[in-house]
Amino acid sequence: MKELDAKNIWHPLTQHKTHPDVLPIAKAKGALLYDTEGNTYIDGIASWYTCMYGHCNPYIIEKVYAQMQQLDQIVFSGFTHQPAVDLSEKLLAILPDNQQKVFFSDNGSTATEVGIKMALQYHFNKGNERHTILAFEEAFHGDTFGAMSASGLSVYNGPFDKHFIDVVRIPVPTIETVDSILKQLKELHLKSPLAGFIYEPLVQGAAGMKMYQPEALEPILAFCKAHTIITIADEVMTGFGKTGTLFASDQINTKPDVICLSKALTAGMLPMAISTCSQHIYDAFYSNDMSKGLFHAHTYTANPLACAAASAGIDLLLSQEIEKSRLRIHKAHLAFKERLSENPTITNVRVKGVIFALELTKKMERYGSMRDQLFVHFKNKGVFLRPLGNTIYILPPYVISDKQLKQVYEAIEEVL
């Protein structure tokens, strides 16, 4: 498998010359990955926070299989189907109350891309064009052009710099810095009126699970609301129970105009994304004038199988079993944090919901050789963790057992 892979395949986020190694995975079940040689690895990051109810979850499989025999794919422009309608009902019931419409796309990047387009066209449709998007430093919103432009982690985006959309940045606020950031924001808005503000609520995933306080974000969102700057919460990572509440936006008083969802949306079974919005966003596109519509579509928009997987995922999310597990993992993380409190090799140990992260005091490059060594160490210990620079984080599937969680903690303690 490795040979043919090397011959045929170009992997993402990979410099093939320096990193020719790939690990062939044969199957996965619950929190475990099995390689082709029979070794197992605990999936400590739920395969980029997608398979939150465990790999190959029988309930998800059952629902997708049933849907497969009924309707596989249909154009979503001018047609509709039960799985999409069911999902819209279930999803809107658990999202913040102001979310009223569901727009489908394919992945996290397209979800944020759509959010950005909604913001830009909202002002265009109102006859008051605005060209600038506001984003946080070290943000990550995906790899398509709009999403990439809004992402602040652009160390590797150099070749595209000149092709970005217009984005200005502010630092992630703390209670201490928010006043000065607000001042900066007012100046930015005066200079070039801001169309929208895209942010990862409470946790910046790709930046290394950086966490910040809802109270610090609140004044920024309030300013945006007051100046019709469309607020876009990118909950692609934080959504579906990971931060302690169903959505991170539940912990923030000011609700966003748009919410972007993907990753755990479909329980890791199939790719799909959704951007939801409030009524007033939708209304700005509702017109006798065809050109005021949102002309964005992907071929597989609202694929029935993906919708069935997402609906089943929400059933599991709302089950008592998963709710209990989320709390169990959260408490275990807190105890692990406590245990590490005296350790001099680390700083900034933090827990939010089922997310655990720490910084090694030793400085390392994001994709440097230390990081590779860590990755290999974890692998040898039967644990799949993917350190980001000197950040080590755990974001396990909710079905991880106490014993498996302990094995993940021990692998980390050994490194320290």
Ligand X SMILES: *Cc1c(COP(=O)(O)O)cnc(C)c1O
Which residue ranges make up the site for ligand X (CB under 6 A)? Answer: 107-109, 112, 140-142, 200, 205-206, 234, 236-237, 262-263
Query: Shortest approach of ligand X to residue 237 CB, angstroms?
Result: 3
Query: Shortest approach of ligand X to residue 236 CB, angstroms?
Result: 4
Which CB atom, from 55 or from 263, has the smaller least distance to ligand X? Answer: 263
Using CA atoms, how far apart are residues 362 and 376, in angstroms rounded to an integer?
Answer: 18
Bridge partners (DSSP) listed for residue 350: 357
Which CB atom, from 221 or from 411, has the smaller least distance to ligand X? Answer: 221
Token readout for 99 is 């979310």
Query: Shortest approach of ligand X to residue 271 CB, angstroms?
Result: 7
Q: Please choose, from the candidates 164, 100, 102, the residue with its C-alpha nearest in 3D space to the C-alpha of residue 133.
A: 164
* Cβ pair 160, 145 in contact under 8 A: yes
Residue whose beta carbon is closest to ligand X: 108
Which CB atom, from 206 or from 221, has the smaller least distance to ligand X? Answer: 206
Query: Shortest approach of ligand X to residue 141 CB, angstroms?
Result: 5
Query: Shortest approach of ligand X to residue 234 CB, angstroms?
Result: 5
Helical H segments across 69-144, by residue range: 82-94, 108-125
Which CB atom, from 139 or from 284, has the smaller least distance to ligand X? Answer: 139
Which CB atom, from 13 or from 226, has the smaller least distance to ligand X? Answer: 13
Query: Shortest approach of ligand X to residue 139 CB, angstroms?
Result: 8
Query: Shortest approach of ligand X to residue 35 CB, angstroms?
Result: 24
Neighbouring residues of 137: CB distance < 8 A, sequence distance ≥ 6: 152, 169, 170, 171, 172
Using CA atoms, how far apart are residues 352 and 243, in angstroms rounded to an integer?
Answer: 5
Q: What are the C-alpha distances in Å from 367 to residues 15, 91, 387, 388, 389?
A: 10, 37, 9, 7, 6
Using CA atoms, how far apart are residues 305 and 83, in angstroms rounded to an integer?
Answer: 8
**Burial per residue of 98-119, b for 16 or more beta-carbon CB atoms within 10 angstroms, e otherwise:** bbebbbbbbbbbbbbbbbbbbb
Which CB atom, from 237 or from 412, has the smaller least distance to ligand X? Answer: 237
Which CB atom, from 205 or from 241, has the smaller least distance to ligand X? Answer: 205
How do 194-199 and 167-170 pair as beta strands? unpaired
